Amino acid sequence: MKNTFGNSVAVTLFGESHGEYIGAVIDGLAPGIEIKREYIEHMLFLRRPDGKISTPRKEKDEFRIVSGMINGKTTGTPLTILIPNENVNSSDYAELKTVARPAHADYTAQCKYHGYQDSRGGGHFSGRITAALVAAGAICKSALEAKGIFIGTHVKKCAGIQDRDFSDYTADITALGEKTFAVLDSNCEEPMKNSILEAASEGDSVGGVLETAIIGIPAGVGEPWFDSAESMLSHMMFSIPAVKGIEFGAGFGIADMKGSTANDSLRMKDGKIVTETNNNGGINGGITNGMPVIFRTAIKPTPTIFKAQDTVDFMSLTDALIEPKGRHDPAIVHRARVVQDAAAAIVICDMLSMRFGTDWLCES
Amino acid sequence: MKNTFGNSVAVTLFGESHGEYIGAVIDGLAPGIEIKREYIEHMLFLRRPDGKISTPRKEKDEFRIVSGMINGKTTGTPLTILIPNENVNSSDYAELKTVARPAHADYTAQCKYHGYQDSRGGGHFSGRITAALVAAGAICKSALEAKGIFIGTHVKKCAGIQDRDFSDYTADITALGEKTFAVLDSNCEEPMKNSILEAASEGDSVGGVLETAIIGIPAGVGEPWFDSAESMLSHMMFSIPAVKGIEFGAGFGIADMKGSTANDSLRMKDGKIVTETNNNGGINGGITNGMPVIFRTAIKPTPTIFKAQDTVDFMSLTDALIEPKGRHDPAIVHRARVVQDAAAAIVICDMLSMRFGTDWLCES
Amino acid sequence: MKNTFGNSVAVTLFGESHGEYIGAVIDGLAPGIEIKREYIEHMLFLRRPDGKISTPRKEKDEFRIVSGMINGKTTGTPLTILIPNENVNSSDYAELKTVARPAHADYTAQCKYHGYQDSRGGGHFSGRITAALVAAGAICKSALEAKGIFIGTHVKKCAGIQDRDFSDYTADITALGEKTFAVLDSNCEEPMKNSILEAASEGDSVGGVLETAIIGIPAGVGEPWFDSAESMLSHMMFSIPAVKGIEFGAGFGIADMKGSTANDSLRMKDGKIVTETNNNGGINGGITNGMPVIFRTAIKPTPTIFKAQDTVDFMSLTDALIEPKGRHDPAIVHRARVVQDAAAAIVICDMLSMRFGTDWLCES
Amino acid sequence: MKNTFGNSVAVTLFGESHGEYIGAVIDGLAPGIEIKREYIEHMLFLRRPDGKISTPRKEKDEFRIVSGMINGKTTGTPLTILIPNENVNSSDYAELKTVARPAHADYTAQCKYHGYQDSRGGGHFSGRITAALVAAGAICKSALEAKGIFIGTHVKKCAGIQDRDFSDYTADITALGEKTFAVLDSNCEEPMKNSILEAASEGDSVGGVLETAIIGIPAGVGEPWFDSAESMLSHMMFSIPAVKGIEFGAGFGIADMKGSTANDSLRMKDGKIVTETNNNGGINGGITNGMPVIFRTAIKPTPTIFKAQDTVDFMSLTDALIEPKGRHDPAIVHRARVVQDAAAAIVICDMLSMRFGTDWLCES
pLDDT tens-digit series, residues A206-261: 999 999 999 999 999 999 999 999 999 999 999 999 999 999 999 999 999 999 99
Q: Are C8 and A357 an interchain contact pair (Cβ–Cβ within 8 Å)?
A: no
CATH superfamily for B4-93+103-362 is Chorismate synthase AroC (3.60.150.10)
pLDDT tens for the 364 residues of chain B, in order: 699 999 999 999 999 999 999 999 999 999 999 999 999 999 999 999 876 676 554 556 799 999 999 999 999 999 999 999 986 655 556 678 899 999 999 999 999 999 999 999 889 999 999 999 999 999 999 999 999 999 999 999 998 899 999 999 999 999 999 899 999 999 999 999 999 999 999 999 999 999 999 999 999 999 999 999 999 999 999 999 999 999 999 999 999 999 999 999 999 999 999 999 999 999 999 999 999 999 999 999 999 999 999 999 999 999 999 998 877 789 999 999 999 999 999 999 999 999 999 999 998 7
Using pLDDT thresholds of 50, 70 and 90, give the confidence band for residue D187. very high
For residues D165 and D172, what is the distance between their CA atoms, to the nearest angstrom? 10
How far, CA to CA in Å, does D353 sit from each of B195, C193, D140, D359, D362? 52, 46, 11, 7, 10
Is B358 an interface residue toward D (CB < 8 Å)?
Answer: yes
Is D286 an interface residue toward B (CB < 8 Å)?
Answer: no
Q: pLDDT digits over A291-304, tens only?
A: 999 999 999 999 99
At the topology level of CATH, where does A4-362 sit?
Chorismate synthase, AroC fold (3.60.150)
Using pLDDT thresholds of 50, 70 and 90, give the confidence band for residue C93. low
**Dihedral sign, CA of C46, C51, C54, C58?**
positive
In this prediction, residue A93 carries a pLDDT of 62
Q: Average pLDDT for residues D238-266, to the nearest whole number? A: 98
Of A13, A14, A76, the CB nearest to D117: A76
Residue D47 backbone dihedrals phi, psi, to 5 degrees:
-80, -25
Q: State the smallest CA–CA distance between residue B78 and chain D in angstroms.
A: 10
Is A24 an interface residue toward D (CB < 8 Å)?
Answer: no
Q: Are C184 and C168 in contact (CB under 8 A)?
A: no
Q: Average pLDDT for residues D268-294, to the nearest whole number? A: 98
Closest residue on chain D to C133 (Cα): D225
Q: Average pLDDT for residues D258-279, to the nearest whole number? A: 98
B–D interface: beta-carbon pairs under 8 A: 25
Print burial letters for B136-156: b (CB count within 10 Å at least 16), e (below 16): bbbbbbbbbbebebbbbbbbb
For residues D233 and D252, what is the distance between their CA atoms, to the nearest angstrom? 17
Q: Are D5 and C206 an interchain contact pair (Cβ–Cβ within 8 Å)?
A: no
Angle ∠(C178,C87,C238) on CA atoms, nearest 5: 50
Q: Are A2 and B224 an interchain contact pair (Cβ–Cβ within 8 Å)?
A: yes
Contact residues, chain A, for D10 at CB < 8 Å: 1-2, 4
Contact residues, chain B, for D360 at CB < 8 Å: 357
Other residues' Cβ atoms within 10 Å of the Cβ of residue A225: 30
Is C286 an interface residue toward D (CB < 8 Å)?
Answer: yes
In this prediction, residue D322 carries a pLDDT of 96
Contact residues, chain A, for D3 at CB < 8 Å: 25, 27, 77-78
Q: Are A3 and D22 an interchain contact pair (Cβ–Cβ within 8 Å)?
A: no
Angle ∠(B143,B146,B147) on CA atoms, nearest 5: 95
What residue ranges of chain A have pLDDT lower than 50?
A: 57
HEC readout, chain D? CCCEECCCCEEEEEECCCCCEEEEEEECCCCCCECCHHHHHHHHHHHCCCCCCCCCCCCCCCCEEEECEECCEECCCCEEEEEECCCCCCCCCCCCCCECCCCCCHHHHHHHHCCCCCCHHHHHHCHHHHHHHHHHHHHHHHHHHCCCCEEEEEEEEECCEECCCCCCHHHHHHHHHHCCCCCCCHHHHHHHHHHHHHHHHCCCCECEEEEEEEECCCCCCCECCCECHHHHHHHHHCCCCCEEEEEECCHHHHHHCEHHHHCCCEEEECCEEEECCCCCCCEECCEECCCCEEEEEEECCCCCCCCCEEEEECCCCEEEEECCCCCCCCCCHHHHHHHHHHHHHHHHHHHHHHHHCCCHHHCC
Instruction: Identify which of A350, C297, C83 has the alpha carbon closest to the alpha carbon of residue D231.
Output: C297
Of D28, D223, D357, the CB nearest to B356: D357
For residues D52 and D39, what is the distance between their CA atoms, to the nearest angstrom? 24
Give start and end residues of each alpha helix (H) in B228-311. 229-237, 259-262
Strand order in the sheet with C21-27: C4-5, C10-15, C21-27, C79-84, C64-67
Q: Are D255 and C208 an interchain contact pair (Cβ–Cβ within 8 Å)?
A: yes
| Residue-averaged pLDDT of chain D | 94
Q: Are C354 and A355 an interchain contact pair (Cβ–Cβ within 8 Å)?
A: no
Is A75 an interface residue toward C (CB < 8 Å)?
Answer: no
Q: Are C8 and A354 an interchain contact pair (Cβ–Cβ within 8 Å)?
A: yes
Q: Are B305 and A260 an interchain contact pair (Cβ–Cβ within 8 Å)?
A: yes
3-class SS of residue C36: coil
For residues B239 and A221, what is the distance between their CA atoms, to the nearest angstrom? 15
Residues in D 219-238 with any Cβ partner in B closer than 8 A? 223
Is D183 an interface residue toward C (CB < 8 Å)?
Answer: no
pTM of the complete model: 0.97
Q: pLDDT digits over A26-42, tens only?
A: 999 999 999 999 999 99
Instruction: Identify which of B186, B201, B198 has the alpha carbon closest to the alpha carbon of residue B159.
Output: B198
Q: State the smallest CA–CA distance between residue C79 and chain A in angstroms.
A: 14
Interhelix angle A333-356/A229-237, nearest 10 degrees? 140
In this prediction, residue A364 carries a pLDDT of 76
Q: Are D191 and D313 in contact (CB under 8 A)?
A: no
Listed in sequence order, the residues at least 6 apart from B66 whose beta carbon sits closer than 8 Å to its beta carbon are B80, B81, B82, C15, C19, C20, C21, C23, C82
Listed in sequence order, the residues at least 6 apart from A199 whose beta carbon sits closer than 8 Å to its beta carbon are A159, A205, A206, A301, A330, A331, B258, B259
Contact residues, chain D, for A13 at CB < 8 Å: 78
For residues C100 and C107, what is the distance between their CA atoms, to the nearest angstrom? 6
- Chain D: touching chains (3 or more CB pairs < 8 Å): A, B, C
Contact residues, chain D, for B359 at CB < 8 Å: 355-356
In this prediction, residue D326 carries a pLDDT of 74
- At B108, the amino acid letter reads T
Contact residues, chain C, for B117 at CB < 8 Å: 31, 75-77
Q: pLDDT digits over C183-214, tens only?
A: 999 999 999 999 999 999 999 999 999 999 99
C95: pLDDT strictly greater than 90: no
Of D225, D256, D317, the CB nearest to C13: D225
Q: Are C246 and D225 an interchain contact pair (Cβ–Cβ within 8 Å)?
A: no
- At D136, the amino acid letter reads A
Q: Are D162 and D333 in contact (CB under 8 A)?
A: no
Using pLDDT thresholds of 50, 70 and 90, give the confidence band for residue D51. low
In this prediction, residue D54 carries a pLDDT of 63
For residues D308 and D314, what is the distance between their CA atoms, to the nearest angstrom? 18
Instruction: Identify which of D128, D211, D228 has the alpha carbon closest to the alpha carbon of residue D164.
Output: D211
In this prediction, residue A114 carries a pLDDT of 96
In this prediction, residue D50 carries a pLDDT of 72
Q: State the DSSP code for C360.
A: G
Q: Average pLDDT for residues C241-257, to the nearest whole number? A: 98
For residues B183 and D25, what is the distance between their CA atoms, to the nearest angstrom? 48
Listed in sequence order, the residues at least 6 apart from B36 whose beta carbon sits closer than 8 Å to its beta carbon are B142
Percent of chain C with pLDDT over 90: 88
Is B7 an interface residue toward D (CB < 8 Å)?
Answer: yes
3-class SS of residue C256: helix
Contact residues, chain B, for C32 at CB < 8 Å: 114-116
H/E stretch holding C270: none
Q: State the smallest CA–CA distance between residue A338 and chain B in angstroms.
A: 17
Q: Are B107 and A319 an interchain contact pair (Cβ–Cβ within 8 Å)?
A: no
Residues in B 126-165 with any Cβ partner in C closer than 8 A? none
Q: State the DSSP code for B362.
A: G
Strands C287-288 and B73-74: unpaired
Contact residues, chain D, for A10 at CB < 8 Å: 1-2, 4
